[in-house]
Amino acid sequence: MFFRWDWLQPQLTAPIVPTLGPVHPDALSVGIFEDILRAAGTGIFLPYDKDRRWGGEKDERVLREDVVHQRERTLIPTLIRRGRGAVKVFAYGFPDNVVDEATELAAKLAARYDVVNARVVRPLGARTAHPCGTRIQLRYFTPSACPAPDGQVLPVTDWPTAVQETFAPFAKAMAAEGLAFLHARVQEGHCGPVLTAAVKNRIVGAIGPMEIRPDAIRCPQLMPQYFAVLPHARGQGLGRRLWRAAMHWGQGHGAAYQLLQTEVGGPSDQLCLSEGLTSLGFSHTTHV
């Protein structure tokens, strides 16, 4: 075993695992960290990796030989070759200089592997005084927690053909939110349903794909979704309607929970906070 759990566990102020992202606190264990080391460089997805549903090979891998694991700090670097490439160093620990050490390591590894981007990812606790970056939020599904939304929300394939055809221009307009990628997956038939809202027979909002997969301890998890509403259609409650429809779908299909990542202070963050989700901490990324 590479990691000492008695060292690592106290450093995990937020449940974030390199190459996997946020995980449920009940699933957070030394075994997950050992798994990402074993998978390094193989291109194989772990059975509970949320990105496995997209197919292909796993691009991000841990640079095992450059991991720093000590009683007060753990630095875990990863390498991504996609595009212009990136090195990320996940900095766990309590010393004031842990981010400085991670920054130095990220710059060194970016030069070694000839990649353009170098970043430091710093997990922060839920009680951080001035949160920034990305908030990790948890929604449990219980029998009374997820009523059906007020207003019509349908899978894109359930609308009349003329309405379905407006999904492509909507997705193109919201490409920055990942909707163009999602549209391509829908066309290929490689993902679960996408829930949509329409105004005047035009799709103006979507959330999806809706899929449930087991996590590291075999608990059914509603997978993260792409979520967007056209700017001119915001302020009408459509985002909340879509989100509640997604939660209702997850509950009805047997999910136990969902983990979400929201930009602190952004519309999705405010929506989730108003819906009573539990904050598990934050992730702050610094570009080197």
Q: What is the pLDDT of residue 276?
A: 84
Give residues with Cβ within 8 angstroms of 70, minimum separation 6.
Answer: 7, 93
Residue 59 near residue 82, CB atoms below 8 Å = yes
Cα–Cα distance measured from residue 286 to residue 288, given in angstroms and rounded to the nearest whole number: 6
User: pLDDT band for position 19 (50/70/90)?
Assistant: very high
* pLDDT tens by residue, 116-170: 999 999 999 988 877 789 999 999 997 667 888 888 899 999 999 999 999 999 9
Q: Name the amino acid, one letter, at 30.
A: V
Q: Which helix (H) or strand (E) holds 197?
A: strand 195-199
Residue 273 has pLDDT above 90, yes or no: no
- Residue 206's nearest CA partner among 254, 239, 249, 250 is 239
**DSSP single-letter state for residue 232:** G
Domain boundaries, the chain: 5-128, 142-255
The CATH-assigned architecture of domain 142-255 is: 3-Layer(aba) Sandwich (3.40)
Orientation of helix 267-274 relative to helix 238-252, angle to 10°: 60
C-alpha distances in Å from residue 93, one per residue of 72, 98, 104, 229: 6, 7, 16, 38
Report pLDDT for 130.
73
pLDDT in the model for residue 56: 86
* Mean of all residue pLDDT scores within the chain: 93
Cα–Cα dist 168/171, whole Å: 5
Average pLDDT over residues 282-288: 94
Query: For residue 153, what are the contacts with CB-CB under 8 A and spacing of at least 6?
Result: 195, 196, 197, 241, 242, 245
Mean pLDDT of 85-94: 96
On the CB side of 46, how many CA atoms lie within 13 Å of its CA?
Answer: 25
Quick check: 214 pLDDT over 80? yes
Q: Measure the CA–CA gap between 225 and 258, rounded to whole angstroms.
A: 10
- Beta-bridged to residue 222, according to DSSP, are 212, 258
Predicted pLDDT of residue 87: 97
pTM higher than 0.85 for the full model? yes
Question: What is the predicted pLDDT for the residue at 281?
Answer: 94
